[in-house]
């Protein structure tokens, strides 16, 4: 906490020197984690915003392309938390092709539920450390490719920074 206060003083002094101002209502000090875009950042890493995950999980089965596009748009924001997202989303993406006939069947339902489940099980992603080496793990099939950006932590365990599609 002392480090946090020292850094905070330095930032506020720099702001004052340069006549910059912060909106106190939008400031968060001394918190274990802070919200940022569609995630929360904390000392343990990056985790998906539970409200966004809940919105995806509670979404009803899409009735048409427009509904599916909206749902996939929201799910895509959190794809970095979902291992094999591209493969999971493939049956749904085929319904978005220009001349695709709308036909929601078992394959689409399974994919829809699998994405929801993968986001419910979303890991806390590691924060990247620029002083440590990164590794990339890839897996490909005839119709999808998935990658993970990894980095070893201080104990030598590989931690996921992000799942990429």
Q: What is this structure's pTM? A: 0.78
Same domain? 104 vs 78: yes
Q: Give, for all 165 residues of the chain, the pLDDT tens digit.
A: 788 889 999 999 999 999 999 999 988 888 899 998 889 999 889 999 999 999 999 999 999 999 999 999 999 989 999 988 889 999 999 999 988 899 999 999 999 999 999 999 988 999 999 999 999 999 887 877 888 999 998 888 899 998 887
Look up the domain containing 85 and give its range. 48-120
In a domain, 103, yes or no: yes
Answer yes or no: is 61 within a domain: yes
At residue 119, the pLDDT reads 94
How do the residues of the chain divide into helix, strand and coil, expressed in percent and rounded to 5? 45, 20, 35
| Ramachandran quadrant class, 20 (left: phi over 0; alpha: psi -120 to 50; beta: rest) | beta
87 with 114, same domain?
Answer: yes
- pLDDT for position 163: 87
Tally of domains in the chain:
2
pLDDT of residue 83: 86
The residue assigned the tokens 């092709």 is 97
22 and 55, same domain (yes or no): no
73 and 102 assigned to the same domain: yes
Whether 132 is covered by a domain: the verdict is no
Q: What is the 3-state secondary structure (H, E, C) of 15-61?
A: HHHCCCCCCHHHCCCCCCEEEECCEEEECCEEEECHHHHHHHHHCCC
- Residue-level pLDDT at 43: 87
Residue 135 dihedral angles phi and psi, to the nearest 5°: -135, 150
């Amino acid at each position: 906490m002392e480090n946090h206060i020292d850094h905070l003083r330095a930032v506020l002094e720099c702001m004052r020197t340069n006549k910059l101002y912060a909106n106190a209502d939008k400031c968060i000090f001394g918190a274990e984690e802070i919200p940022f875009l569609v995630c929360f950042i904390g000392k343990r890493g990056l985790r998906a915003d539970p409200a966004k995950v809940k919105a995806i999980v509670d979404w009803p089965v899409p009735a048409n392309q427009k509904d599916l596009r909206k749902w996939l748009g929201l799910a895509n924001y959190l794809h970095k938390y979902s291992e094999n997202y591209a493969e999971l989303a493939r049956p749904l993406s085929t319904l978005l092709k220009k001349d695709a006939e709308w036909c929601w069947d078992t394959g689409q339902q399974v994919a829809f539920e699998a994405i929801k489940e993968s986001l419910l099980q979303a890991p806390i992603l590691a924060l990247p450390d620029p002083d440590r080496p990164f590794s990339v793990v890839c897996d490909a099939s005839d119709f999808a490719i998935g990658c993970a950006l990894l980095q070893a932590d201080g104990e030598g365990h590989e931690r996921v920074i992000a799942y990429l599609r």
